[in-house]
Amino acid sequence: MNTADAAIETIHREMTAFARRARASAGRLHPELSLVSYTLLGHLEDVGGCRATDLAAHYALDKSTVSRQVSALERAGLVERRTDPQDQRVQVLHLTPAGMEILAQVTASRRVAFRERLAGWPEEDLRQFAGYLLRYNAAGGTRRVTAAAGD
Amino acid sequence: MNTADAAIETIHREMTAFARRARASAGRLHPELSLVSYTLLGHLEDVGGCRATDLAAHYALDKSTVSRQVSALERAGLVERRTDPQDQRVQVLHLTPAGMEILAQVTASRRVAFRERLAGWPEEDLRQFAGYLLRYNAAGGTRRVTAAAGD
DNA sequence: CTGTTCTGGTTGCATAGTACAACTAGTAGT
DNA sequence: ACTACTAGTTGTACTATGCAACCAGAACAG
């Protein structure tokens, strides 16, 4: 096995390990904002508003799932829907001030944990690692959910 | 927020996105073996047999959850329980030949999916990405189901 | 021994998250 | 106008999960 294959093996194993831990501990840290909700809010903040369909594509979720999640977030007053004047079907989602507030709180408390975990990493490595993850997820992310998605 | 914090945010978000997709596509690709079941089988193979309680501790799952998962795996003929003669309460779990077979199949197909997804990455990037993931997962240790784990 | 406490495991119940399919409504192409 | 497509919602079913109550065996104190 060459070096590239070995690296792929490692990526496979480590990503899977992470996935299983994420699964095991999901939702325990911030009961007030589930993992799903948090990531959806985070994405909204990142891109500054997008459609439900975009969220579904990014997280490889069914549109019905996103629809329900968004409904819950709206009921909680964390996001608002603005119908796109250009296309009546589309509801552009935006964080509300309350949504930004909660997102900031959870982010702050969680950053402590992540800082600890990533303590000692040179900033350059952090940036590069983030870049790789973006690239990996983008490879199949916004488009069709193909075999390799997260597996 | 400085660039290191921004990178940490991105790392968390993208790792989470990955975890979510992993779970979704694992279910679609291998309906016969969920991500959880897969990791449980993998662990059994790794350690060569252990108790349900050990699995629960290792993955920070409730013992009831493990109990049910193991029941399903047993019904599917992938694991077998051997009552410990030293302690009648204990059921030592072992992979059956069928379990090993399926585990090998799923592992192989996941590896293929990974290769496809990472096709076109320069070898140097693969190497570095793998290194970052190792470092990240190692930071939390095999066990330490606290904050940073996956959430 | 006997009673109490501990431990491994199962089961009843409630909940979250999810997919799929059927549906509504709005848009675009011919 | 007719058709095909797209965004989103709702009905339904299923899985994974945790918690609490429980059972059975083990360990230990007297």
Domains defined for chain B, CATH in brackets: 3-139 (1.10.10.10)
Would you say B39 and B128 are in contact if contact means Cβ atoms under 8 Å apart? no
d(CA A76, CA A32): 11
Pairing assessment for the beta strands B79-83 and A79-84 based on DSSP bridges? unpaired
Q: What is the pLDDT of residue A147?
A: 34
Of A25, A114, A151, the CB nearest to B26: A151
Q: Give A26 or A68, the one with higher predicted confidence.
A: A68
Worst-scoring range by mean pLDDT, A23-27, A67-71, B79-83, B142-146? B142-146
Q: Does pLDDT of B145 surpass 50?
A: no
| Token reading at B125 | 């990037």
Q: How many CA atoms lie within 13 A of A88 on its CB side?
A: 0
For residue range A84-127, what is the model confidence (pLDDT) as tens digits? 999 999 999 999 999 999 988 888 877 777 777 788 899 999 99
Q: Per this entry, what is the length of chain A?
A: 151
Q: What is the pLDDT of residue A5?
A: 77
For residue range A33-47, what is the model confidence (pLDDT) as tens digits? 777 888 899 899 988
Q: Which amino acid is residue A127, in one-letter code?
A: R
| E strand intervals along A29-86 | 79-84
Worst-scoring range by mean pLDDT, A1-10, A14-23, B99-108, B110-119? A14-23
Would you say A50 and A92 are in contact if contact means Cβ atoms under 8 Å apart? yes
Contacts of residue B147 in chain A, CB cutoff 8 Å?
Answer: 29, 110, 112-113, 116
Would you say A42 and B14 are in contact if contact means Cβ atoms under 8 Å apart? no
With distances taken from each CA to the C1' atom of nucleotide D23, the closest residue turns out to be B89
